[in-house]
């Protein structure tokens, strides 16, 4: 009679060890992506391919125009070229993988590749957030303190701000990625998303994730909400200054240089904030995918169009480039 409880406890321990082994040996995930739309796979592949080509072509064109036109050798366009370069890198982290998954219908991704994708996505997303804040600061100085603008936004300062934007979020996001992928994953290996983003990956982890989710909120506030507040503060001063300008023509010119940037800011921060800061109970895979598409593909695609169509200097630079060709 005494051997039965012992055998039972031994069996439980053996099962727990097997479970722990299976948890710790998760080697790959499955990116479900858009597999719930089997009849639209060809359409989605074509759509994302076209969008990717538009993003690459549009942003490369802005980089070339700002580099070749002497009239665009200004801080504003220096940051715009950096932003376009950043957009190309940012989109390349996710879209080629989406296209590969749709084309091959092989949705498996190793845990290492998933971690690398997440790390690059977070680092580049943080860089974009910082650079948008820097661009708003540039517009603030240009409009609110025009006499000091050449001194404040000199070439050295611009380079420092650009490098700081690219590299500023790297230590934090590397740490966050390492922390997330040090967790044990036992709920499932299926990521109901089209890339390895933080919320869907954390859902697969074992145990109480409230501490980790709080950590994610804190980081988002640091790298997203704080730059966004700086952008709002800059634009509140900019708008107040513009409204005090004596002529309607001057107001229209000032608004035209800022409205493009402000539109990009709203699209990027709006969709990102809803995804990362909205309550967990309101999350659904479909909504998360739609919002993620906004800030990973749609906004980068519209960036060159918004800046070129609403900026006379960029249009003039494009005409010069075409005439040379």
Within 10 Å of residue 225's Cβ, how many Cβ atoms?
A: 17
DSSP string, 99-114: HHHHHH---EEEHHHH
Cα separation values, 100 from 50, 96, 103, 107, 197, Å: 14, 6, 5, 8, 17
Reported confidence tier of residue 287, pLDDT bands at 50, 70, 90:
confident
E strands, the chain, are: 28-31, 108-110, 190-191
CA distance 203 to 186: 10
The pLDDT score that the predictor gives to residue 95 is 95
Does 14 or 205 have the greater pLDDT score? 205
Kindly give the pairing relationship between strand 108-110 and strand 28-31: antiparallel
Contacts for 292 with CB less than 8 Å, ≥ 6 apart: 193, 194, 195, 197, 271, 275
Torsion of CA 313, 318, 323, 325, to 10 degrees: 150
Q: Please state which CATH number belongs to domain 25-324.
A: 1.20.1070.10
Q: Are 88 and 59 in contact (CB under 8 A)?
A: yes
CA distance 59 to 87: 7
Per-residue pLDDT tens for 125-163?
Answer: 999 999 999 999 998 998 889 899 999 999 999 999 999
The arithmetic mean of pLDDT across residues 187-207, rounded, is 87
Structure tokens at 314: 């960029």
What sign results for the dihedral spanned by CA atoms 90, 187, 39, 291? negative
The arithmetic mean of pLDDT across residues 252-280, rounded, is 72
CA distance 308 to 312: 8
Per-residue pLDDT tens for 76-110?
Answer: 899 999 999 999 999 999 999 999 999 999 999 99
Does 268 or 325 have the greater pLDDT score? 268
Percentage of the chain with pLDDT > 70?
Answer: 85
213, burial (CB in 10 Å: exposed 0-12, middle 13-18, buried 19+): middle
Structure tokens at 81: 């070229």
Reported confidence tier of residue 173, pLDDT bands at 50, 70, 90:
very high
Determine the 3-state secondary structure of 29 from DSSP. Answer: strand
CA distance 305 to 98: 23
């Amino acid at each position: 009679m005494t051997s039965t409880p012992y055998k039972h406890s031994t069996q439980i321990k053996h099962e727990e060890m097997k479970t722990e082994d299976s948890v710790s040996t998760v080697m790959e995930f499955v990116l479900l992506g858009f597999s719930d739309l089997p009849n639209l796979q060809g359409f989605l592949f074509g759509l994302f391919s076209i969008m990717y080509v538009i993003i690459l072509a549009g942003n490369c064109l802005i980089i070339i125009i700002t580099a070749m036109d002497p009239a665009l050798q200004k801080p504003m366009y220096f940051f715009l070229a950096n932003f376009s370069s950043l957009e190309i890198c940012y989109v390349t982290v996710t879209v080629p993988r989406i296209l590969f998954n749709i084309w091959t219908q092989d949705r498996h991704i190793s845990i290492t590749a998933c971690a690398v994708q997440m790390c690059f996505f977070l680092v580049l997303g943080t860089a974009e957030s910082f650079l948008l804040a820097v661009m708003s600061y540039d517009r603030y100085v240009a409009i609110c303190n025009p006499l000091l603008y050449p001194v404040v936004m000199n070439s050295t300062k611009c380079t420092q701000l650009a490098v700081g934007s690219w590299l500023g979020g790297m230590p934090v996001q590397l740490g966050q990625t390492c922390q997330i992928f040090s967790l044990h994953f036992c709920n499932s290996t299926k990521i109901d998303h089209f890339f390895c983003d933080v919320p869907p990956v954390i859902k697969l982890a074992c145990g109480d994730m409230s501490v980790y989710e709080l950590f994610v909120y804190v980081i988002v506030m640091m790298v997203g909400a704080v730059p966004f507040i700086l952008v709002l503060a800059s634009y509140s001063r900019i708008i107040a200054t513009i409204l005090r300008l004596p002529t309607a023509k001057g107001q229209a010119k000032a608004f035209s240089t800022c409205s493009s940037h402000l539109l990009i800011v709203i699209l990027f921060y709006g969709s990102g904030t809803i995804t990362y800061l909205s309550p967990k109970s309101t999350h659904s895979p479909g909504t998360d995918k739609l919002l993620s598409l906004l800030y990973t593909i749609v906004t980068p695609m519209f960036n060159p169009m918004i800046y070129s169509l609403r900026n006379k200097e960029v249009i003039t630079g494009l005409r010069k480039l075409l005439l040379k060709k």
